Amino acid sequence: MSYETLQDNSGKLQKEMSRKALLGSTVGTIIEWYDFFLYATASALIFPKLFFPTTDPYMATILSFATLATGFLARPLGAAIFGHFGDRIGRKNALVITLWIIGISSTLIGLLPTYNTVAIWAPIMLITLRILQGIGVGGEWAGAILLSMEWGNRKKKGFSASIPNAGVGAGMLLSSGAVGLCISLTGDSFYVWGWRIPFLISFILLIAGVIIRKRITETPSFQRVTEGNQVAKTPILEVLKHYPKQILFVGMAKFSEHIPNSVFSIFMISYVTGSFSISPSYMVNLNTFTSFLMCFTIPFFGYLSDKVGIKRLYMTGIIANLIWVFPYIAFINTKAPIIIAIATIIFVFTHNVQAGAQPALVAQAFPARLRYSGAALGTQVASVFAGGIAPMVCAYLIHSTGTLYSIGVYVAVAAIIGSIGTAFLKNLSSNSVTNTKEDHLGSLNTNVNS
């Protein structure tokens, strides 16, 4: 076979596998983040009443958000476990396992007895399942963006890596839509049994996601690492030894994106419905609309990052977030539903600038042989502080200071930390196995012959 024919066949195979990888990574991400945001919404609206009914409303909210935080605490463990397997046995295999863990955990939450039935065992079982869910999520995000980026067009890394991140918005959209629909259909019965329906749907989504991901072939980048006998024996230990600063800077960059997301998608639902005369369904529907916007704006900003520079766009998003956060708080304080909606939508846009550029920014911070471990560890350790405890911190700040502007300060500090981390973060994606055209074609032919 001539080189031209080989190149042409490999190009077609590359496009086909790229489409499958985009579909598999994004659909899987949608499913896993559907489960995650479903729990987050429930922690704001449902769990305080059903699993912590003997405490005062403030403590019930804190305890409910604490169960949300346990999932974040488990994320670094998931990052270590699946970062190891992702850099040892491949991106695809690790991602199938994470999907099973989160899907089964979420389904079982929908079957849990409440506090009125089994007393203290109810929150204990809830926390246990939440920890398992957190372990799965801890290994999911990095693998999904790598699967998409490493199969995608090398000149469009920002766009390719951003597509699974749009799945986060789609998962939020799906979960918010499911909760909103169940509230409408079940009415007063929502807090009795209606809340269980969205969790039980997870099992159907799980089966669909596993089938799709099973059909994906391992990425060329990981195949080259394998063919070059450069697979790390202990990826987590090696990335900690050789790239500790990169992990730190990735974590700092994550702060400026994750904390605002926790504020507008989790905490504000609880705060606005509890403090103002605004119904939970209104805030859930607002969350649904902003999630819809994320599905399109995140890939757009991923595309834009390839044009203007990934790091440059990410820094632009940080600055936009910093500028808008205090006007956002002022708009929330008006207590007017339409003004709150407008303020939130703008806040989502400033956040999405970062969410579009972040996947490629993080993935390129590590060489291919340690990329899964580095990306997972850097983001998921930070998520404990940037996402896990953020709703509790917000509740504490308002309770202690009596003003919503304290949350604005919290977000502003996160933006400063994020800008420092981003400024010092290096692109190490070239520190890998030689990435020549012949290597790429060889990897593709291995797929054809297997």
Residue 389 DSSP code: S
**Is residue 10 situated within a structural domain?**
no
Torsion over CA: 137, 138, 143, 148 (sign): positive
**Amino acid 421: pLDDT:** 96
State the pTM of this model: 0.79
Surface-to-core class of residue 89, CB atoms within 10 Å of its CB (0-12 exposed, 13-18 middle, 19+ buried): middle
As for how many domains the chain has, the answer is 1
Helices marked H in 192-279? 196-214, 220-227, 235-242, 244-262, 268-275
Cα-based distances in Å from 291 to 52, 58, 107, 396:
29, 28, 22, 27
312 domain residue, yes or no: yes
- Which residue bears the tokens 């956060």? 325
Q: What angle do CA 342, 288, 125 make, to 5 degrees?
A: 125
Q: Considering the domain boundaries, does residue 159 fall inside one?
A: yes
In a domain, 7, yes or no: no
- With a cut of 70, list the residues of the chain below it in pLDDT: 1-14, 44, 54-65, 67-68, 430-450
Cα 121 to the center of its chain, rounded Å: 29
Question: Angle 161-31-108 (CA atoms, 0-180°, nearest 5)?
Answer: 145
Rounded Cα gap, residues 258 and 355, in angstroms? 9
Which helix (H) or strand (E) element contains residue 46?
none
CA distance 65 to 393: 10
23: left (phi over 0), alpha (psi -120 to 50) or beta: alpha
Range of the domain at 429: 15-449
How many beta carbons lie within 10 A of that of residue 393, not counting itself?
Answer: 20
CA distance 212 to 415: 37
In a domain, 2, yes or no: no
176 and 291 Cβ atoms separated by less than 8 Å: yes
pLDDT of residue 431: 59
Evaluate whether residue 59 is within a structural domain: yes
Q: Say if 332 falls within a structural domain.
A: yes
DSSP 154: G
Domain contains 4: no
Provide the pLDDT for residue 437.
Answer: 38
CATH of the domain at 190: 1.20.1250.20
Tokens of 329: 């708080």
8-state DSSP, 369: G
Residues contacting 132, CB < 8 A, separation 6+: 74, 101, 104, 105
